[in-house]
Each structure stands twice: as C-alpha cells, then as structure tokens.
Structure 1
Amino acid sequence: MSYDLLNALPETAIRVIPTSVGDVLFRQDAPTTGLYRVQRGCVTLSRTTLAGDTLTLHRATEGDLFAEASVFSDRYHCDAICTAAGEVQHIAKDAILNQLSHDQNFALSFSSVLARQVQSYRFLLEITAIKSAEDRVLAAVSAGYLSGTVTEFATRIHLTQEACYRALRALCNQGRLRQTGRGQYVLKDQAKRLSSR
C-alpha cells in the first residue's frame, strides 16, 4: 500500500507499534482487527498445518504490507511474529472498509495491491510444484526467496530443513550457487558480479 493510500485514511486509523524480536502481532484464528505495514524490521508469517508442521507463508520487510486478507475475514489465517526489531503500522480494518465503500480511487488501488499478492502467491505455488529439491531451491534462490534464515526458506518452499541444506550443498558443489556467508547463498553469476565490485 503506497503512502497515498495511507494518507487517504484518518490518522486515528493508523497506530505505530514498536517491535522486538519474538513479539507476536497476532496468532492464527485470532479475531482480525486490521492489516499491517512494516516500517522497519521484519515480520514472518507462518501457519501450523493439521499435521503440526510449520509453513512460512511470507517474510515482510520494510515497506511491505501483510495480513491484507484480514480486511475481509473474521479470523487471522496465520501467526505474525517479529524476526527483527523495528516498527510496524497497524491499519484499522473498519477504516479500510469504510474507505473502500466511499472512495473509488482507494478501492482501485487496494484491489491492485491484492492482485499483486495473488500473482506473487501463484508464482510461489509454481516453485513449490517443482519436484526436484535442487531445482526447487535453485528457482527459489533465483526468485529472491532466501532473504531470511534457511529454516524459514525451507518451510516457505515446502522442503524439510535437511532436504533444503542438502540441495544447497549440492548446488554449491555443482557450481550453480555460491555460499557467501552463514545461511547466505547467491547464484553463480551474482557471485561474479559481487566479487568484481
């Protein structure tokens, strides 16, 4: 959501929340109160499956909106946990619904945000449909999904942590990836560009 959209809302609709690592903004199945935007820091959205597994759905960083679906839902569908200290904005659900019903430009802009989210999730589904762990990891690294921990990355692309580490190691051994730090990997071409700077 751009600053223009936020500016269309009354000041009372937006509350700034300081965050520390481990802070829980909401839990799966809690009643919805609004959506959020990261000003600084990082928030990881994850869901616990019926089998008890944890899936990372999204990693929100500076400028990212999250929990947009909460505007149209009674309950949050995942947990939102701060993984880096900073600040988030809580944007009240009732204010958004009111603005959607009275401001066509706001409604169109908000619909555009939701459409981009759908595209992003569809792309992630394409990646998780790749059967080979190595090919899936390579596609996900290429798409920029390895921006947090390898554990988060593995759950986001629906691999076990062990399978993910094996695939990363194999891709490094094949020369397709290069490890640049603990839990940090880049494509071979990116590694060349970084070393030539």
Structure 2
Amino acid sequence: MTYDFDHMIDDPFALLPPSARRTEDMSEGDVLFRQDQSTSGLYLVVEGGVSLRRTSLGGDILNLHKAVSGGYFAEASIFSDRYHCDAICTESGTVMKISKTAVIDMMQLNRLFSEGLTGLLAVQVQQYRAQIEILAIRSAKERVLAAVQAGYLDAKVTDLASRINLTHEACYRALRALCDDKRMAQIGRGEYRLL
C-alpha cells in the first residue's frame, strides 16, 4: 500500500501567530545549531538542504538525517532542553524557525493544533520506517527502484544517492541498469520515470 504522506493532514503550524515563525536565509556550511546547545525551536526547510550530524565517541561524523525542501527537522526540541546533534546547511536556501515556546503554549490551548502536530509526527514516523525499509535493500538497483517508487527522485540524482546511502556513481549505474531492463526511462538529463 502506498501512502500520500504529503496530503494526509494540514500544516498545524499555520495556526501559530506569524511572530512564532521566522524565515532565515542560509548559505552552504551555515550552522543553525550545535549539539548540546539550548533548544529554541524546530525548523522547516523552505528551500535548500540541512544535514543533521552527530560526532561519535570515536570522532566519526554520523549523518542522522538530511532535511530537504518541505521537510521539518529538530522536532524533538519541543520536548528537550538541548539539541541532540548539529544542523549544518548543505545547500543555500531558506529555513523557517518555529518557536518552541509558541508550540508548547499552543499545544496547551488548542486541541486542533495538538492533534495536527501529533498527526504530523505520526506521518514522519511512517516516512522514517519506509526509508529504513528502503535502506535495508541490499541490491543498489532494487534500492534505487524502491526509492523512485516512493517519490525520492524529486531533485538531483546526487540527492537521491545521498538519501539512500549510495555513492552517486552507484546510483547512476543502477538507474542505467533499470533503464536497460525497461523498468524506467530517462526523459532528460538527470530525469527518469517509471515504466
């Protein structure tokens, strides 16, 4: 069964006063927050990309999540005193910061907002579970096919590769193999469609 995650619920944050939502331009490499910094809000990527990273005890950088246009991140900050990772801009664009205080206040005052926020978080859990299933596919070709079927190829092929933990070379090879198998067709530079 396929779910249309983007159209299941309305945006609960539209119920917040405009002063609770502030847009910020960002450049590649900008840091929105650091691990252990006091939380002040969650974010929506309006345009661009943000990587959530944590440094392991051994010093390795772990990429926890990549938020792209239309994606929320740092939702756990609503219920936490400190951010659990770093948020680094991976491409220039715009983010919207949503005030933690305003979210908590609205949750206590407005049942529709609370239900909408809960619904949004539930949909995200479903999306993360679907992504884990895709990442568990061992064959690069089948992983790419599953990701395209899930709607992950909505930008550059390199973004798709990063999202599904493949090198961009492996992703391009898989796309070419899927086209050779007549399961997909290339319709333009970096543009593919399912057959």
TM-score, normalised with respect to structure 1: 0.76
In 1, the alpha carbon distance for the partners of 2:106 and 2:133 equals 34
Which residue of structure 1 lines up, in the alignment, with residue 111 of structure 2? 104
Query: Which residue of structure 2 lines up, in the alignment, with residue 45 of structure 1?
Result: 51
Offset of residue 133 of structure 1 = 1.2
CA distance 1:162–1:44, change in 2 (3 Å): same
Are 1:124 and 2:95 counterparts? no
Report which stretch shifted further, 105-114 or 145-154.
145-154
In 2 relative to 1, CA 75–92 (structure 1 residues): closer, same or farther, beyond 3 Å?
same
> Do structure 1's residue 181 and structure 2's residue 188 form an aligned pair?
yes
Computed over aligned residues only, the root mean square deviation of the Cα atoms, in angstroms, reads 2.8
Q: Greater shift after overlay, 122-131 or 14-23?
A: 14-23
> What is the 5 A alignment of 1:50-65?
50=56, 52=60, 55=63, 57-62=65-70, 64-65=71-72
Mark the CA change 1:127 to 1:83 in structure 2 (over 3 Å): closer, same or farther. Answer: same
- 1:77 is aligned to 2:110: no
Query: In structure 2, the residue corresponding to 1:35 is in which secondary structure?
Result: strand
Is 1:13–2:20 an aligned residue pair?
yes
2:141 paired residue among 106, 124, 134: 134
Q: Secondary structure at the match of 1:144?
A: coil
Structure 1 unaligned segments of length 5 or more: list them: 190-197
Cα displacement string for residues 54-94 of structure 1 (whole angstroms, at most 9, x for unaligned residues): 647344324x4332222123214352415353x43211112
What is residue 167 of structure 2 aligned with on the other side? 160
| The 10-residue stretch of structure 1 (11-20 or 117-126) with the greater mean CA deviation from structure 2 | 11-20
Q: What is residue 95 of structure 1 aligned with on the other side?
A: 102
* Structure 2 letter corresponding to 1:133: A
Number of residue pairs the alignment of both structures matches: 184
Q: How far apart are residue 143 of structure 1 and its match?
A: 1.0
Say if 2:75 is the partner of 1:68.
Answer: yes
For residues 90-130 of structure 1, what are the alpha-carbon distances to aligned partners after superposition, in whole Å with 9 as ceiling and x for unaligned?
11112111222332222111100100000111111111111
Equivalent-residue separation in structure 2 for 1:29 and 1:165 (angstroms): 38
* Change over 3 Å in CA distance of 1:134–1:78 after alignment to 2: farther
Query: Aligned equivalents of 2:54 and 2:37: distance in 1?
Result: 14
Distance in 2 (alpha carbons) for counterparts of 1:48 and 1:67: 13
The gaps in structure 2 that reach 5 residues or longer are 1-8
TM-score (normalizing by structure 2) = 0.77
Give the Cα separation in 2 of the matches to 1:56 and 1:182. 29
CA distance in 1, matches of 2:192, 2:62: 23
* Offset, 1:27: 4.4
**Against the structure 1 CA distance between its residues 114 and 55, is the aligned structure 2 distance closer, same or farther, given a 3 Å change threshold?**
same
Q: CA 1:30–1:170 in 2, change beyond 3 Å: closer, same or farther?
A: farther
